Amino acid sequence: MTRELSSGLRAVAVTLVGFGVAYHVLVWGVAQVFFPQQAAGSLVRAADGTAVGSTLIAQRFVRSAYFHPRPSAVGYDAAASGGSNHGPGNPDYRDALRQRADAIQERERVRRAEIHVDMLTASGSGLDPHISPPTASLQVARVAAARGLEASAVGRVVEAQVQPPLWGFFGKSRINVLELNRALDEAFGRPHAEAARGAHGATR
Amino acid sequence: MVLDIFAIAFTIGLAIAMSLPLGRYMARVFLDRPTWLDRALVPVERAALRAAGAHAAEEQDWRAYARSLLVSNACMWVVALAVLVLQGVLPLNPDGIAGMGPTLAFHTAVSFVTNTNLQHYSGEAGLSYLSQMMMTWLQFVSAATGIAAFVAIVRGLGGSRIATLGNFHADLMRAAVRILLPFAVALALLFAWQGVPSTFAGAVQVETVEGDVQVIARGPVAAMVAIKQLGTNGGGFFGPNSSHPFENPTPLTNLASILAILLIPMGLIWTSGEMLERRGFARMIFATMLALYIPLLVVIVRAETAPPAAVLGVGADAAQGSMEGKEVRHGAALTGLWAVSTTITSNGSVNGMHDSLTPTGGLVALSGMWLNNIFGGVGVGFINMFVFIVVTTFLAGMMTGHAPALLGKKLEAREMRLASMVLLLHPLLILGGSALACWVWTSAPAAADTLGWLGNPGARGFSEIVYEFSSAAANNGSGFEGLGDDTAFWNIATGLVMLLGRYVPIVAPLALAGALGERPTAEETPGSLRTDTVTFAAALWSVVLVLGLLMFLPVAMLGPIAEALTQAA
């Protein structure tokens, strides 16, 4: 038995150093050299160099002048991510659907049938950075009005931000909300401070 | 929808195509034949074996092999437990995560050592970077343990009058260094390129565009996610696993991940055929597994992409399908593909919340775990199917009046007892565990408040209980995460179930293979049972469904089926 134990412990030591440490350091080293931006978390920086977020992580947008991301079950908390874990029959889930549909209808002034599923449902991670193209189109009118722009001008920026599926068929068409909003700011300048900020149809 | 179907067909076709050369490579590795990666990897393997000691050269019979396996796994468990409990004071903890409580640490250590990766803590909030690295280590060695057990059993099945099945430590190192390591490194770098973080810096605090504060957790993620998938581990860095954009940022990483989930389990089937020199046998097994996989896949994809009634009920456009708990960049269909693939392979990673799957989708996920032998976990998938093959051979022998013999080896009463024990243990753990939990629930006063277990009411809540025990017994690791599972009851109960569900179905087949190996391989005659035929495949398929799935029908009725039938529009 002691021989077994000593073999076992040696196996533990060798594999722990090899796979627990060396493997990690190898991957980290190569990633830091060849993919430094991604390795650090794909951070997006403002003109003065400070980080304003990550392209891969959704952040809260409630102002009328910005496109809004999908609802989040964790309030966009990127240190405690998660989904709602609601089943389709859960009454809380159904209530949330109704509330969000009402809020979107009021904010965007559209018919219910134009609202798509991704805008009504919480993402699995709570940090989904994308929305579908129809959901973006839904918000164009409101964003344009808030910024005093033509809807077509905003629509063009949206079009340019659509990412197609991989090789045309794998995955879905999507638009990164943070990148879209930054593109808007870059093209048309940052919007003025809003008069009434309040709890604008919270996208939670 | 058409594009989704094409994407799914493309993925599976690609997985099968890639599994063939991989299977051959793995066979060459274990048959001591030269391979193209030898120049890079053999020196590493030799150094590792030298460090592990001279004992790695001895041939072991099944008892010594099993002992080495259990003792080394136990040592790993002890080290893991120590790290988890002490993580608050150990280095590499930039975000100041506290040490784990005792039952949770017990559970987590068991979980990663048994290749389950059931996580009752929430990812980035529960582990320090050092602990994540230690879990990565366990992901390698638990996968390598499974592959080693597979190789030993194949040797027993194919050998004639052999007394030994190899050396566990040598097999473990070989599997880890020459199979898992190179592909994990390649996959990790692909992930890193696509945006999966790889840093030892702590969480970054940003001021968002609108002026909020957001703390973004990151870490040495890429390295862990690669082996998580390849070794059918499933334990992610972050709580939401591969639905988190930092673990699965693009459609390309989604594709690579699904392939990684399937590749080694599929490949090992071909490996068995090469090592046994019975390619027809391997083809039969692969075909039977596909014939179980595809129907499950069709059912779940249809269920998840169907317009959800709740969304239609509020009058919105439901064309995207069920998107609660899913991510836009992947979509409902590919999440369905992932969900079935992860549960048949006992992987357990998810790219969408399973507790938000449709009832039918949830039933498919459960079925994958109840069967646990459709490609299955690395190594153990073949082993589980092997047990069913033994039973099928026995039944075929009964039906045709021949003494049962598998690949020329006579099957005797002892083998049948071992096979039956393994077969029955799985449902016993799941159904027994679920019954125990239900009893606790019904005995507790005001259970919903005092226990706080269930995240969803009604039949779905019952499914949460059954899913948790199914996941533990199958060493899967996914969950209906509405279940409040970080409690002493769940930690200890599922911890014990994981241990039994992992080691009995490894040790008993080792005994079986040891006995078969000692026997001479009989010459094949016109009267012997052919196991490479469509007839045998059909028989195996039927036995798997009837003996593997039928006894779960009652809990299926009480859970997902009841939920599906009672769901109001």
pLDDT of residue B525: 85
Cβ neighbour number for residue B487 with a 10 Å cutoff: 16
**CA gap B334, B206 in Å, rounded:** 32
Q: Across the interface, do A38 and B315 touch by the CB < 8 Å criterion?
A: no
Q: What confidence score (pLDDT) does residue A198 get?
A: 45
How far is residue B72 from each of residues A14, A123, B104, measured CA to CA in Å?
A: 12, 41, 22
User: What's the confidence (pLDDT) of residue A194?
Assistant: 60
Q: Which residues pair with B198 in a beta bridge?
A: B220
Query: What is the DSSP secondary structure assignment for residue B273, as one 8-state letter?
Result: H
Mutate to test the interface with A, among B133, B178, B214 (most CBs of A within 10 A): B214
Q: Who contacts B473 (Cβ-Cβ below 8 Å, separation ≥6)?
A: B369, B372, B426, B429, B430, B433, B497, B498, B500, B501
Task: Outline where DSSP puts E strands in A87-181.
Answer: 130-131, 162-163, 174-176
Contact at 8 Å (CB) between A59 and A76? Answer: yes
Kindly state the helix (H) or strand (E) to which residue A142 belongs, with its residue range. helix A133-147
Residues of chain A with pLDDT under 50: 195-204
User: Which of A79, A178, A159, A90 is CA-nearest to residue B204?
Assistant: A79
Of the candidates A1, A5, A56, which has its C-beta nearest B249's C-beta?
A56
* Token pair for B438: 């239900």
Quick one: which of B333, B261, B349, B345 has its CA closest to B297? B333
Q: Which residues of chain B have a CB within 8 Å of the CB of A6?
A: 53, 55
Asked whether B564 and A87 are in contact (CB, 8 A), the reply is no
Q: How far is CA B282 from CA B28, B268, B273, B276, in A?
A: 16, 9, 5, 9
Please report, to the nearest 10 degrees, the dihedral formed by the alpha carbons of residues B394, B399, B400, B405 taken in order.
Answer: 0
B215 min Cα distance to partner chain A (Å): 6
Question: Which pLDDT does position A100 carry in this prediction?
Answer: 96
CB contact under 8 A, B355 and A86: yes
With contact defined as beta carbons under 8 Å apart, do B169 and B526 qualify? no
How many CB atoms neighbour CB B208 within 10 A?
A: 18
Residues whose CB falls within 8 Å of the CB of residue B335, separated by 6 or more in sequence, listed in order = B304, B326, B327, B351, B352
Q: Quote the tokens at residue B147.
A: 């592959």
Question: Are A23 and B181 a contacting pair at CB < 8 A?
Answer: yes
- Contact status, residue B140 vs residue B151, Cβ threshold 8 Å: no
Q: Which amino acid is at B184?
A: A
In order of A90, A99, A103, A134, A198, the CA distances from A143 in angstroms are 33, 21, 16, 15, 17
Indicate the residue of A62, A123, A169 with minimum beta-carbon distance to B327.
Answer: A123
Task: Give dist(CA A202, CA A73) in Å, integer.
Answer: 12
Mind telling me how many Å the CA of A152 is from chain B's nearest CA? Answer: 24
Chain A contacts of B457, Cβ < 8 Å? 90-91
Considering only the beta carbons, identify the residue of B137, B239, B460 that sits closest to A87: B460
Q: Are strands B213-216 and A43-45 parallel, antiparallel or unpaired?
A: unpaired
* Contacts A26 to B, Cβ<8 Å: 185
Q: Nearest CA to CA, how far is B392 from chain A (Å)?
A: 37
Alpha-carbon distance values, B559 to A138, B360, B434 (Å): 38, 10, 12
Report the pLDDT value the prediction gives residue B266, as an integer from 0 to 100: 98
For residue B351, CA distances in Å to B119, B326, B464 come to 15, 7, 18
Structure tokens of A199?
A: 């709890």
Nearest CA to B242 out of B221, B263, B214 is that of: B221
Whether A19 and B457 lie within 8 Å, measured CB to CB:
no
Q: Give which of A90, A115, A190, A194 to mutate to test B binding, by max B Cβ within 10 Å.
A: A90
Instruction: Give the closest-approach CA distance of A147 to chain B in angstroms.
Output: 15
- CA dist B168 and B60 (Å) reads 8
Partners of A36 on chain B (C-beta within 8 Å) are none
How many interface pairs between A and B have CB atoms less than 8 angstroms apart?
A: 391
Closest residue in chain B to residue A133, using alpha carbons only = B328
Residues of chain B neighbouring A41 (CB-CB closer than 8 A): 197, 199, 204, 216, 218, 246
Check A125 against B122: CB less than 8 A apart. no
Q: Which residue has the tokens 């994981």?
A: B498
Q: Which residues of A touch B351 (CB under 8 A)?
A: 124
The torsion angles phi and psi of A46, rounded to 5 degrees, stand at -80, 175
Cross-chain CB nearest to B122 (options A14, A16, A82): A82
pLDDT, position B30: 96
Residues B348 and B476 sit within 8 Å (Cβ to Cβ):
yes
Q: Tell me the per-residue pLDDT of B128-181, one tens digit each, with 9 for 90 and over.
A: 999 999 999 999 999 999 999 999 999 999 999 999 999 999 999 999 999 999
Give the gyration radius of chain B's Cα atoms: 23
Nearest-angstrom CA–CA distance, A4 and B51:
15
Mutate which: A2, A6, A17, A19, vs B, most B CBs within 10 A: A19
Name chain B contacts of A63, Cβ cutoff 8 Å.
210
Q: Which of B6, B52, B458 sits opposite A169 (nearest CB)?
A: B6
**Short-list B368, B367, B369, B333, CA closest to B352:** B333
> Is A122 within 8 Å of B324 when comparing Cβ atoms?
yes
pLDDT of residue B250: 97
**Contact state of B317 with A134 under an 8 Å Cβ cutoff:** yes
Minimal C-alpha gap between A64 and chain B (Å): 11
Do residues A174 and B329 make contact, with C-beta atoms less than 8 angstroms apart?
A: yes
For the stretch A144-168, pLDDT in tens is 999 999 999 999 999 999 999 999 9
Evaluate whether B314 touches A76 at the Cβ level (below 8 Å). Answer: no
Q: Which of A32, A86, A178 sits opposite B356 (nearest CB)?
A: A86
- pTM value is 0.95
Mutate to test the interface with B, among A1, A17, A23, A26 (most CBs of B within 10 A): A23
The list of chain B residues with pLDDT below 50 reads 569
User: Are B501 and B425 within 8 A, CB to CB?
Assistant: yes
